């Protein structure tokens, strides 16, 4: 697989990474441990060198899983994880106090079976802790060799600038896809100016852009999409037009909707590295083939034109979670 560099940091990773959250959190019951390990190792065999986790995915289960799966080839991969929630539980709110960052880092090193974290993200901006203190703490951890690079997630442009002035930010991770393009307004220009890489999560629209979800889909009771307005039944029905347009274009390119959605993200900037997640090996193989699809300028204009006429229905987060992003 081709490699990409995340901004000016020099951190080189596979053009498509693997978002590991769904293996243990967010989208229904956790995958069987051995199945998850097999999938992670298969991703590595197929050329993936960038794996994304967080203490909050489980909590803790995801990092343990990744540590075991990647141990045989630890030095050939880049592991990203995140701090920022009280006790690793999203429902308890944020905690980016310096002491907590240090405690989480030490615990994550053990769970990941490693002596360093390649990319350590603040999971969400904590309104109660100055971002300069957060960046300063990560800077100290980098100085100690426990962390290699600093990342942020779902941060606003002003906060990114403040953090970057203390400790250069290697990557910002935020949602970005054909049906969520908000980062294009302010975030992408800021990242380009500062030389920061961009790691889009949910580049397949939390599964919607694959075409496998419609208004009749029933999610597991523990699936996070049950509380997402964009996934309300009436919005899934209204938003089918997005998948129809994508599918029609994919047919012309002899590709799947998911592959075109990922190829589109890759085509936006050379320093963008999407991290689609899956629990199925055939989906993994499908997703990774997207990096071989070349979208011409005409293709991109055609996609742009088709999507410009569509107004996607439903907010991407319920109000309580929306308050945690873009700060």
pLDDT tens sequence across 93-151: 999 999 999 999 999 999 999 999 999 999 999 999 999 999 999 999 999 999 999 99
Query: Could you tell me if residue 229 is inside a domain?
Result: no
Per the DSSP assignment, residues forming a β-bridge with 153 are 173
Residue 297 has a pLDDT of 97
CATH number for the domain spanning 273: value is: 3.20.20.100
pLDDT tens sequence across 172-220: 999 999 999 999 999 999 999 999 999 999 999 999 999 999 999 999 9
Write down the catalytic residue from 57, 121, 176, 317.
57
Query: Could you tell me if residue 283 is inside a domain?
Result: yes
pLDDT tens sequence across 261-303: 999 999 999 999 999 999 999 999 999 999 999 999 999 999 9
Cα–Cα distance measured from residue 254 to residue 266, given in angstroms and rounded to the nearest whole number:
18
Cα–Cα distance measured from residue 183 to residue 203, given in angstroms and rounded to the nearest whole number:
12
Query: Could you tell me if residue 42 is inside a domain?
Result: yes
Query: Could you tell me if residue 211 is inside a domain?
Result: no
For the chain, what is the domain count?
1
Distances (CA, A) of 145 to 117, 140, 161: 9, 9, 24
Cα–Cα distance measured from residue 286 to residue 109, given in angstroms and rounded to the nearest whole number:
32
Residue 72 has a pLDDT of 98
pLDDT tens sequence across 222-272: 999 999 999 999 999 999 999 999 999 999 999 999 999 999 999 999 999
Decide if 44 is catalytic: no
Q: Which domain holds residue 191?
A: 3-205+259-293
């Amino acid at each position: 697989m081709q490699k990409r560099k995340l901004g000016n940091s020099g951190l080189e990773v596979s053009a498509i990474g693997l978002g590991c959250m769904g293996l243990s959190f967010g989208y229904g019951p956790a995958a069987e441990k051995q199945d998850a390990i097999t999938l992670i190792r298969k991703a590595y065999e197929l050329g993936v060198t960038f794996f994304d986790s967080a203490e909050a995915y489980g909590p803790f289960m995801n990092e343990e899983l990744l540590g075991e799966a990647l141990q045989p080839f630890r030095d050939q991969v880049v592991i990203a994880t995140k701090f920022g929630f009280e006790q690793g539980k999203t429902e308890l709110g944020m905690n980016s106090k310096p002491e907590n960052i240090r405690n989480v880092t030490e615990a994550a090193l053990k769970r990941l079976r490693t002596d360093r974290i390649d990319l350590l993200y603040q999971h969400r901006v904590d309104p109660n802790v100055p971002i300069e203190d957060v960046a300063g703490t990560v800077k100290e951890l980098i100085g100690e060799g426990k962390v290699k690079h600093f990342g942020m997630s779902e941060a606003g442009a002003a906060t990114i600038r403040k953090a970057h002035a203390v400790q250069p930010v290697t990557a910002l991770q935020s949602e970005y896809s054909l049906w969520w393009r908000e980062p294009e307004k302010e975030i992408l220009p800021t990242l380009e100016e500062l030389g920061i890489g961009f790691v889009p999560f949910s580049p397949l629209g939390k599964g919607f852009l694959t075409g496998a979800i419609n208004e009749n889909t029933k999610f597991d009771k523990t699936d996070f999409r049950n509380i997402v307005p964009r996934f309300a039944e009436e919005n899934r029905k209204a938003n089918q037009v997005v998948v129809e347009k994508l599918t029609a274009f994919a047919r012309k390119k002899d590709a799947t909707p998911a592959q075109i959605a990922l190829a589109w993200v890759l085509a936006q900037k050379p320093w963008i590295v999407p991290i689609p997640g899956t629990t199925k090996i055939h989906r993994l193989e499908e997703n990774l083939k997207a990096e071989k699809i070349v979208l011409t300028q005409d293709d991109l204009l055609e996609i742009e034109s088709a999507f410009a006429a569509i107004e996607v229905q439903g907010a991407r987060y319920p109000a309580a979670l929306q308050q945690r992003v873009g700060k």
